[in-house]
């Protein structure tokens, strides 16, 4: 009797997620498991249990956890690229838009820790076998910064450094903060919002004068 009830419950759940919907459910479950247990500590069985299907049913959608991680990372980057492009194209001062892009970058990394490490951290080589797609997308995502810094340079507002030098300094500073927060969670950090604000303001205010204070 209990077995029939369990089967009915499972069947009812499956009915809500065929095809693309089921695939999306699996990816969402996999991301939760990756964040909770780490990539190495995650198993197909654990992911299947999270989404209430059998491992055999999961294999009908994904060959292994590696393919799930790549798809999660690719999808997260697609959303981040779209957000960066929207911020870049929106009206407003390029300096303010740079702050928005950097803040979004940090929050993206902290929300998608495993995906972030896959795309942006060298140690992620231990996780992935082929990084071409995600690496290309990381490069596409980076382009928003030199575009905005270039606009400031044309206005005479970059007193020191090249466009890519300034852009990469912004990127590296934010990456360092994300990496430390991910890898040293027990350090005793102050509130994350304060760290994000200080990092972004410190980087941008230090390299880009306030509007109207153009370099001579």
Say what the pLDDT of residue 128 is: 54
Say what the pLDDT of residue 163 is: 96
The CATH number of the domain covering residues in 2-62: 1.10.10.60
What is the C-alpha to C-alpha distance for residues 11 and 4, in angstroms, rounded to an integer? 10
Domain ranges of the chain: 2-62, 66-207
One fold for 2-62 and 66-207: no
Say what the pLDDT of residue 44 is: 94
Contacts of 213 (CB under 8 A, 6+ apart): 157
Say what the pLDDT of residue 3 is: 44
Contact 94, 36 (CB under 8 A): no
Give the chain's residues under pLDDT 50: 1-17, 214-216
Say what the pLDDT of residue 46 is: 94
Say what the pLDDT of residue 142 is: 83
Say what the pLDDT of residue 86 is: 87
Say what the pLDDT of residue 72 is: 83
Say what the pLDDT of residue 148 is: 94
Q: What's the CA dihedral at 147, 150, 155, 158 to 10 degrees?
A: 130
Superfamily of domain 66-207 in the CATH hierarchy: Tetracycline Repressor, domain 2 (1.10.357.10)
């Amino acid at each position: 009797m209990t077995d029939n009830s369990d089967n009915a419950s499972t069947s009812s759940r499956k009915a809500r997620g065929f095809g693309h919907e089921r695939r999306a459910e699996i990816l969402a479950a996999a991301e939760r498991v990756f964040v909770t247990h780490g990539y190495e500590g995650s198993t197909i069985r654990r992911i299947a249990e999270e989404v209430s299907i059998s491992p055999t049913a999961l294999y009908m959608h994904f060959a292994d956890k590696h393919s799930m991680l790549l798809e999660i990372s690719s999808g997260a980057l697609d959303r981040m690229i779209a957000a960066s492009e929207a911020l870049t194209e929106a009206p407003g001062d390029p300096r303010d838009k740079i702050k928005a892009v950097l803040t979004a970058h940090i929050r993206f990394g902290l929300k998608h820790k495993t995906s972030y490490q896959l795309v942006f951290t060298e140690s992620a080589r231990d996780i992935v076998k082929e990084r071409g797609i995600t690496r290309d997308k990381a490069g596409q995502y980076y382009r928003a910064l030199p575009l905005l810094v270039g606009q400031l340079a044309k206005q005479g507002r970059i007193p020191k450094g090249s466009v890519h030098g300034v852009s990469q300094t912004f990127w590296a500073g934010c990456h360092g903060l994300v990496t430390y927060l991910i890898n040293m969670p027990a350090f005793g950090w102050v509130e994350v919002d304060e760290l994000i604000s200080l990092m972004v303001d410190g980087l941008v205010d230090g390299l880009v004068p306030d509007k109207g204070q153009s370099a001579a």
